[in-house]
Each structure stands twice: as C-alpha cells, then as structure tokens.
C-alpha cells in the first residue's frame, strides 16, 4: 500500500511557521510517520494538486492500493482528487463549522468531510462534534499523535541540582530583567531590544541555569485559547514568597516583539514576587528541548480549549505530572491520578478561524482559585511527598501509553484505512492483465464513439470524417497532441475498454467521482464550479469581450445579472454599480500579463465586501505543457497582484478540459465576434452536455480533465473590511 501524506508546514519552513494557524500539524505528521510506515510505503508530498493523483494512478497501474492522508482541517483539504483522501485534523470546540462565510462553501466542514467520506481526529471530544454534524454512522476515529513510545524512552527523574541549558534565542529572566519600562503609563522598550537577532543568537547562545521546583508551560501568547494570564497569575499567587520555584515559559509565536511586551507588562503588575519566571523565545533544537523536558518537575496549562495538546502529552508520557483542566481533548488522558486538576466550566465562544466571531460553540472558563491551589498542592508534593509524586509520574506514563502509544494509534488508523480500501473497486494489476492500447488511443476512440449522432460509427470514424463532430477539426487544430490519438485505428479497440487509471468508487457517504466535480454550471446544485455557486439572492457581474459563460446560467438560477465589456471596465467607462455584486466572473485572461492594475482596480470596485470572484487564466498553449507553471507559483503571483486592490486569493486549480477548450475556441475566433455565443461554442457546449449523459461519459470526462491544458481557475474574495471603491 502507498500512503501519501501532506502538511502545509514542513521541515523546511517549520521554524518560520511557528505560531501560525495549523503549524502544529507538521509535528503531528512527524509523530505519525513510524506508525504509517508499519502500514505501507509512505511518500511525503508538497503539492497535493500536482502530485497526489499522479502517484495514485501509478500505484493502481502496479496493482497497489493508495490513500492520501492530508494533515489539515477540512476547509484546507484538497477535495478535487481522485485518490481517496482522509483529513487528519485537530479540533477543540463543542461543534464543527456548519455554516459558510464570504460565499465560500468549503467553510462548512460538512462539505469537505462528506467529500472525503471519513476522517481522523485526535480526541473523543472532537470525534463527537463531527458525529453530531455528520450523523452517528460517519466513519471518524480518534487517533492522537503517537508520542508515547518516543517520550517514555526519555523518562528521567527531575533535576535535584542546578543544570544549564544553551539557548539559541532570547531569554527574559524575571531575576535579571528590569520590568519598570513596562509600566502601562510608559511606551515600553523598542522592539529591537526585546528579541535577539537570530544569527547572533545561534553564534552566541545564551546560557540558562535552572534549579529548584521547575514548572514548564509551552504556548503561543497570541492564541487567546491558551489563557496565559491565569497561568502566570496563579503561579505568582501561590509562590510569591518562595525563591525555589521557577516557571519556564517556552513561547511559540512568529517573532513579533509586541506580544512579548504584553506578557512583560502583565508581569510588571504582578510584582513584587520572589519566585522566578523565565521566558524563552526561539527555536529549540531537539537536544535542548529534551534536556529541558527531562529535568522539570511538572507541565502546566490553563487552556480554555485543546485539540490534543502535544506538549502536555509529551511531558506526561515522560512521567511528568500535570497541572491542567479536564475538558475538551484533555478529558481523554487527564485525571486525578496523574494531574493536579484545575476546575473549569463551559462558556459560549466562536470558532477561532471564523472572521465573523459568531457565537456557535463552547469552550471552558478556568476557575482561577483552583489554579493557585494546583500550584500550591504540586509544590508540597514535589517538596515533601516523594511517594505521591512517583505514583503520579507512573500514572501519567500508564495513562498516556493507553492513549497515544504507537500500537494504539496503529490499530485504529490501519482499521480505518482498510475500511477505506474495502470501499474501493478491485485494483487492476498491470502485470497480470493482457496488454491494451494506451489511454490516449482509447480516449481518441471514445471522443468519436460517444458523439450522440454517430454511436454506431465509431469503428469507421477518422479525422477526415467530421460530419459527426463539427467541432472536431477546430479541436484537433488547437490541441496538437490529439490528432494522432484520434486518428488511431478505432476498430482495434473494444467498446468496453476502460481508461487506465480511472477512479475507484469513493467511500460511502461521499459524492461520486463524476463529471460534477468539474462540471461547468450544474443546475441541480447551483454550482458553477467547485467552491463557486449561484443563488437567487446573488448579484452577478460577468466581464466579457466575446461570449458570456455564466450570465445565462445565473439568470436561470434567479440571480440579478449584468455583463460588462472588459475594455470599458479598464478604461473606467462603466457606470458605477455601487459595489453591489456578490459574484464577479472574468474568464478571458490570457495570463498574468492580462491582469493590469487598472483592470484589477475596476474589478475590485464591482464587488461588495465579502464578494466572491472567479477568474480563468490561460498560462500556456496546450502544446507547451512541459513549461506549465505549478499552481503554487501561479498562486503566489496572483496573490501579490490581487492584494493591493483589497482582493484575497482563496485557491487556484486547473480549469478542466471543458473550460480550457472553450477558451481556446474563443482565442481562435475572429476578434470581431462579439455578439451572442458563436455557433462553434454552442456546438461544443451541446456536445459536452450530451457527453455527460452517456454511460461512459463520466469516465471519459475524467480522462479529458487529466490532460495538461495550461488553464487555471482562481477563486478570490473581497476583504470584508475593504471600503467601497478603495481599490480605485
């Protein structure tokens, strides 16, 4: 079995990504690798849209099953793949997103979860939230990051004497730092005096000597869920007059020193205190981090919600008792035997990535007096009750073994993957089947055979006989790779020969891998293309110089529609729309060079804040596929071009065969053709619609979509905070 895995954060960018949304998925993926390698051959991919289906098809051709594990939340999981896809996600709230915003259907997680058909999360709490939304039969498992085996091997008793670490970063020590400048009445220290230069810190590391009773906390201070103020306040309240206690805070964020000023200002107002607080900012290598973990007594958190809390799991697997609340994912492994429990109770909140901040879920409010009490009790145990400390340490290791050992996670994940594969059709093995003509030859045969007017003439059709398909000469002229394919002797083929590498059926509860995944304007769903739908409430503006592609469909959907000439828009000859459009479509850009700033500025004035934009760009001619740019490169260029005009890029994906050919036809037409839809386009559209109705139509369409066409669709939206006309 081939197991493809992906995380947006990877070894090459993890240091720069610290603190950013979903950065911890890289660490989860890294812990999963030993388990996945027991199940199959693991391949890490960096661009799912470009790599996954190619590897999947190759695996099938060699008789191998293949599955793609995307370590990402559903709204950031690629849903257009033929390869079976399973999202691996962390979640910390009582409910998952079941609404959309900015007109983006993928923000409703039910869309992604239904398309994938199954999921892996890291806690029973998150699993239940998914079941509440998807139904009790939805296949989702709880499989936390399997950290126990690695961390339990590092088990060591806490330090009994002083030890020194070498920190390649910034160390802020309450015993040596003057906090006076952080008085609220002052401006604070200049930013460049708070953080050490990275290169300097690596050349000249800071020595940090620690002793006494040591508590370790790891969090991103910009993440409101971590609730660091209660942690610092509770520590100081319990140990204000003690000189033998230290709270070590490993800060995980993107290096913006203003957040450090907020933390230090908070410490200023907690004064006076004799206990010690040490803030560490910077990337710790594995050796330094492990040394810190081995020598502390406790791990502490006052979090309001957790998806799994890797630092807590790691330290407890090493036998370090915790100070923590028992809620969300922590309920799976935090208990009175291994933790000094902190009281909490539910309170309303919003999903962290929801820009509306709409109250839709629950998190947990911390009862502060119990934080102080947990610090007091833990100190007394570490200082005077070594037997109880040893018992709590042992309980932590045993509990985490049953929660996140490699064997536990292996059993759950392998069972889900087997269920996924069982839902697929039998995999053909290329080595055991008779040789057959290549898929391009069969594709050309089907192009002729499936035309509605000449179903019975497939064995006789050639390029010289075009009466059955009036668009075929134009097609073969515009796509230089197809003439030889279509001209092949179709009589040597059998009508039932499948296209090699066609998709297996998707798992249960998913949408079929049919033409609807690429279909242009699906009346049943109201979807123009994946991620872009039209409703009767929409106001749509289409920019076109030749033939409208979406306006007629939008009218049938009941939307208010307006068409605008591109040149008139660029020259500012268009009557103001008052920025009322909710959907803006432009499908006639030849490439990035066509996106002139004046045109983009005009586009931005059409949509109201939150409006969705759909752009099609042709980047190469179809006989130059070898030079085709990746979607990542194109996305970077588009993002930079759109941002100055208040437009945010959401996604870039191949436009698909139908749209690419439509655009090629338009470019081949005389420039004077502007009135109505040309006959050639009508013939092409009719052929495509009829092709969908054929028994083998969906399989043929998948093969056509697999051709590299050099045409891309970009989805974007106008920033909610953008002012009307600001891009002008």
pLDDT along the chain (728 residues), means of 10: 85 52 79 92 89 90 90 91 94 93 86 92 96 93 95 89 86 88 61 66 83 94 90 96 95 68 88 94 79 94 95 96 97 97 95 90 95 97 96 96 95 93 59 36 41 35 40 48 35 29 29 37 71 84 76 82 78 60 84 76 85 81 43 75 86 78 66 49 65 61 65 82 36
Quote the CA–CA distance of 109 and 99 in Å, as a whole number. Answer: 8
Residues in contact with 8: Cβ distance below 8 Å, sequence separation at least 6, in sequence order? 22, 25, 72, 76
pTM: 0.60
- The pLDDT score that the predictor gives to residue 91 is 95
Quote the CA–CA distance of 118 and 431 in Å, as a whole number. Answer: 31
What is residue 252's three-state secondary structure? coil
Quote the CA–CA distance of 378 and 247 in Å, as a whole number. Answer: 13
- The pLDDT score that the predictor gives to residue 32 is 94
What token pair was written down for 154?
Answer: 């590092």
What is residue 404's three-state secondary structure? helix
CA nearest to 23, candidates 6, 9, 5 = 9
CA dihedral (237, 242, 246, 249) in degrees, to 10, reads: 20
What is residue 533's three-state secondary structure? strand
Quote the CA–CA distance of 259 and 256 in Å, as a whole number. Answer: 6
Do the beta carbons of residue 603 and residue 613 sit within 8 Å?
Answer: yes
Pairing of strands 647-654, 711-718: antiparallel
| 62 DSSP 8-state letter | B
What token pair was written down for 368?
Answer: 């502060």
Do the beta carbons of residue 581 and residue 539 sit within 8 Å?
Answer: yes
Quote the CA–CA distance of 330 and 340 in Å, as a whole number. Answer: 13
Structural element, H or E, at residue 32: helix 25-39
Quote the CA–CA distance of 282 and 675 in Å, as a whole number. Answer: 62
Phi-psi region of 164 (alpha: psi -120 to 50; beta: other; left: phi over 0): beta
| Token pair 């799976």 in the structure block, residue | 332
Do the beta carbons of residue 507 and residue 139 sit within 8 Å?
Answer: yes
String of b and e for 696-714 (b: at least 16 CB within 10 Å)?
bbbbbbbbbbbbebbbbbb
Do the beta carbons of residue 114 and residue 510 sit within 8 Å?
Answer: yes
């Amino acid at each position: 079995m081939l197991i493809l895995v992906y995380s947006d954060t990877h070894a090459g960018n993890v240091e720069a990504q610290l603190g950013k949304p979903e950065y911890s998925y890289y660490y989860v993926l890294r812990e999963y690798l030993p388990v996945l390698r027991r199940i199959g051959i693991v391949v890490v991919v960096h661009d799912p849209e470009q790599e996954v289906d190619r590897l999947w098809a190759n695996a099938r051709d060699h008789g191998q099953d293949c599955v793609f594990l995307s370590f990402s939340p559903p709204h950031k999981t690629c849903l257009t793949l033929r390869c079976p896809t399973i999202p691996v996600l962390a979640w910390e709230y009582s409910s998952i997103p079941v609404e959309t915003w900015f007109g983006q259907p993928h923000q409703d997680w039910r869309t992604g979860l239904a398309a994938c058909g199954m999921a892996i999360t890291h806690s029973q709490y998150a699993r239940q939230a998914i079941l509440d939304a998807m139904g009790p039969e939805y296949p989702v498992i709880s499989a936390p990051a399997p950290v126990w085996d690695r961390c339990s091997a590092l088990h060591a008793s806490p330090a009994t004497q002083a030890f020194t670490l070498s920190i390649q970063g910034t160390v802020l020590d309450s015993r040596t730092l003057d906090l006076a400048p952080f008085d609220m009445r002052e401006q604070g220290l200049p930013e460049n005096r708070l953080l050490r230069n990275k290169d300097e810190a690596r050349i000249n590391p800071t020595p940090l000597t620690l002793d006494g009773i040591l508590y370790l906390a790891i969090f991103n201070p910009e993440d409101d869920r971590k609730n660091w103020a209660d942690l610092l306040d509770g520590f100081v309240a319990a140990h204000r007059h003690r000189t033998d206690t230290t709270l070590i805070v490993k800060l995980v964020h993107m290096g913006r020193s203003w957040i450090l000023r907020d933390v230090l200002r908070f410490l200023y107002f907690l004064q006076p205190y004799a206990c010690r607080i040490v803030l560490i900012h910077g990337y710790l290598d594995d050796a330094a981090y492990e040394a810190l973990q081995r020598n502390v007594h406790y791990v502490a958190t006052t979090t309001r919600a957790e998806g799994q809390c890797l630092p807590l799991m790691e330290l407890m697997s090493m036998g370090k008792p915790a100070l923590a609340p028992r809620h969300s994912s922590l309920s799976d492994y935090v208990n009175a035997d291994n933790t000094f429990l902190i009281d909490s109770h539910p309170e309303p909140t919003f999903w962290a990535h929801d820009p509306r901040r709409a109250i839709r879920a629950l998190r947990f409010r911390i009862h502060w007096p119990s934080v102080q009490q947990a610090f007091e009790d833990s100190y007394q145990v570490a200082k005077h009750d070594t037997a109880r400390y040893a018992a709590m340490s042992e309980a932590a290791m045993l509990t985490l073994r049953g929660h996140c050992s490699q064997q536990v996670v292996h059993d759950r994940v392998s069972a889900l993957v087997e269920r996924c594969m069982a839902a697929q059709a039998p995999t053909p093995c290329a080595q055991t089947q008779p040789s057959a003509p290549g898929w391009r030859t069969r594709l050309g045969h089907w192009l002729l055979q499936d035309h509605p007017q000449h179903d019975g003439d497939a064995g006789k059709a050639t390029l010289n006989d075009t009466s059955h398909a009036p668009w075929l000469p134009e097609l073969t002229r515009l796509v230089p790779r197809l003439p030889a394919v279509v001209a092949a002797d179709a009589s040597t083929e059998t009508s039932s020969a499948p296209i090699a590498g066609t998709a297996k059926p998707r798992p249960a509860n998913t949408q079929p891998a049919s033409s609807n995944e690429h279909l242009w304007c699906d009346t049943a769903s109201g979807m123009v293309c994946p991620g872009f739908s039209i409703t009767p409430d929409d106001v749509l503006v289409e920019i076109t110089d030749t033939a409208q592609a979406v306006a007629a469909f939008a009218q049938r959907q009941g939307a208010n529609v307006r068409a605008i000439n591109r040149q008139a828009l660029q020259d500012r000859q268009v009557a103001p729309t008052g920025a009322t459009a909710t959907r803006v479509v432009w499908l006639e850009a030849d490439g990035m060079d066509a996106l002139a700033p004046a045109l983009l500025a005009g586009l931005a004035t059409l949509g109201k804040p939150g409006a969705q934009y759909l752009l099609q760009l042709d980047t190469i001619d179809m006989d130059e596929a070898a030079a085709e740019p990746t979607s990542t490169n194109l996305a970077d260029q588009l993002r930079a071009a759109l941002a100055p005009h208040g437009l945010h890029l959401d996604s870039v994906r191949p436009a698909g065969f139908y749209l690419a050919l439509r655009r090629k036809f338009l470019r081949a037409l005389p420039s004077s053709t502007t009135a109505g839809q040309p006959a050639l386009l009508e013939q092409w559209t009719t052929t495509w619609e009829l092709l969908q109705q054929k028994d083998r139509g969906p399989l043929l369409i998948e093969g056509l979509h697999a051709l590299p066409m050099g045409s891309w669709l970009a989805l974007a939206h106008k920033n909610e905070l953008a002012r009307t006309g600001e891009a002008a």
